[in-house]
Amino acid sequence: MNILGLNYIFHDSTACLVQDGRLTIALEEERLTRQKHTDAFPLQAIARCLEIAGLTPDDVDHVAVSYRPGLDWHKKTAYGLKLAVSSPRGLPLFFHGEVMRFVYRQAAFHRWFESAFPGRRKPTVHYVPHHLAHAAGSFFVSPYESAALLSTDGSGEWATTFKGVGHGRTFTRLGQDYFPWSQGDVYGAVTEFCGFKQNYDEGKTMGLAPFGDAATFGDLVARIVTVDDDARVHVDRSYFDYPSFRGAYSGKFRETFGEARKATRGAPFEQHHKDVAAAFQKNLEESLLAIARHLRARTGAEYLVISGGVALNSVANGRLVRESGFKDVYVMPAAGDNGTAIGAAFFVHNHTLGSPRTFIHDDPYVGNEYSRADIRKLLDEFKLSYRVVPEGTLETTAAELLQQGHILGWFQGRMEIGPRALGNRSILANPTLPGMKDKINAEVKHREAFRPFAPSCPIEDTPRFFEQNVADPFMLKVCYVRPEMRTALPAITHVDGTARLQTVHADTNPRYYKLHREFGKLSGFPVLLNTSFNVMGEPIVESPADAVRCFFTTGLDYLVLGDHLLTKRA
């Protein structure tokens, strides 16, 4: 049985294939179109998924869509009419922001569907509510037989959170919040206030927060966003311009917190920008902790599955691991809307069709792969100079270059799913060198100087360097670097002593694991600086051609494509 999972209503359009209960391929449209966070219908991703799997559209039995048309439309209509009364521009904004977006997306889906399946035999289409694709779908691929469920983002059809519990192939909804009570939109408004792009740059806000003082605005922010005793989220909407449907801040927000930072590159950060980021970051953490503790007490579950765009806030996830009372927290590698394609497909497989749970999504390397012949053909066509590193010595050669202070583009195997490079489409460097963070930000990534870089480390070596007692293969749980190791690992230690750690596992990525081992022999530290193989504003590289272009337009020193080594030096 073949299930095609799709996300196309919101940003991060994605397609995946679940074949006989196993995720065999998942691709984000942005990697193919090179438009980051694209909301275009995933035509290329669908075609590539079928091609890689060796299938034709006739082989597809079910199509799972992570959105249910018509769900909560009565609430949307009532809200739109209310806006028409309260604001002359409210109804047009609602109409174009909510109604027409859905109309355009569904029209694109139906054009594709009729074109892909022109005959009488068509697959069954399942429309899965957005937050069920997040929460229940993530639970069905988690390693837990039972778990509390929490999904939180800007909004789905109209819901902004889902709170529940899962057992086996079933789940129970314990509560939901609805627009405009949205943690995701509040954080998006703060992101915009700090001069970044909403639904795009929230990670920058999270990285900026440690430079501010959360106490400056902490008490006020704690009154603006609250969680009651039933774990329901409440927002003082007077600070936000929700009729815009962008989660933008209001005039009152500016009057209270100061002028926003200009959304131009190089614009300075004033102290109040940093303090606002710090206060709302802390508020988000405390809000999620309150909800998680409520779920822990109400369900008695030992584990938590968290999903949705807010679940990409790895600082908050780290606190959930340490302080919520759960033994561990599962976050899908594509926890945002890209992962709802996977969640919708498994919701159909495990819940709708009642198939047993046999798959655990613990391997993020589910994207495309290029053979040695593919790479060689490209390099020869581009007339590039390279050398093939003998079998078994690539990791040693790369480790030596890293130890010498060189910055490597590292392109291997199947591409990762989700926003984090996890060792197959990565930029790697020596984390023990004090100036390495600034060098990569300025010369390679071309991004803001304050932004930190993440470490990767073999799972068994983690306790030596990091205060982390659970696995984190997807780089989504921030932890503390051990105090005695912070000066030894300056390039990956953030200003507050934390790091967004990736634990590396020999069974899922043996080559990347061996690279750490070889680097550890040379440096004494089996830890690498690992950041995504891209420059600011672009998606992670997908193909060897993408990698070569990025290599020659940035300050990378070497490029490793499979077992091919390229340098810019004569």
CB 156 within 8 A of CB 184: no
From 11, 131, 351, 516, active-site residue: 11
CB < 8 Å & 24+ apart, contacts of 435-440? 436/405, 436/407, 436/490, 436/491, 436/529, 437/490, 437/491, 437/492, 437/529, 439/407, 439/555, 440/407, 440/529, 440/531, 440/555
Measuring CA to CA, which residue among 528, 521, 518, 499 is closest to residue 430?
A: 528
Tokens of 167: 């057992």
The strand pair at 62-65 and 124-127 is best described as parallel
Amino acid making up residue 221: V
User: For 91-111, b where at least 16 C-beta lie within 10 A, e where not — what string?
Assistant: bebbeeebeeebeebbebbee
For residue 233, what are the β-bridge partners? 227
Cα distances (angstroms) measured from residue 556 to each of 111, 222, 317, 381, 405:
43, 44, 32, 22, 11
Nearest to 417 by CA among 343, 349, 348: 343
CA atoms in the 13 A half-sphere facing the CB of 57: 16
Separation of CA 546 from chain center:
21
Strands (E), 14-145: 14-19, 22-28, 62-65, 124-127
What strand order describes the sheet that includes 478-481? 466-467, 478-481, 498-500
- In whole angstroms, give the CA distance from residue 454 to residue 500: 5
96 is catalytic: no
- CA 372 to chain CA centroid, Å, is 29
Calpha distance 187→153 (Å, rounded): 10
Cβ-proximal residues to 364 (8 Å cutoff; 6+ apart), any chain:
333, 416, 417, 418, 422, 473, 474, 508
Spell out the residues 6+ positions from residue 208 whose beta carbon is closer than 8 angstroms to its own: 194, 269, 273, 274, 277, 450
Count of C-beta atoms within a 10 Å radius of residue 251: 10
The runs of H, that is alpha helices, within 404-541 are: 436-440, 462-465, 510-523
> What does the radius of gyration of the chain's CA atoms come to, in whole angstroms?
23
Whether the CB-CB separation of 51 and 17 falls below 8 Å is answered with: no
Answer yes or no: are the C-beta atoms of 94 and 83 closer than 8 Å: yes
Strands 454-458 and 425-429: unpaired
Identify whether the C-beta of residue 150 lies closer than 8 Å to the C-beta of residue 138: no
Q: What is the DSSP letter of 194?
A: T
Confirm if 538 and 388 have CB atoms less than 8 A apart.
no
**Which residues are catalytically annotated?**
11
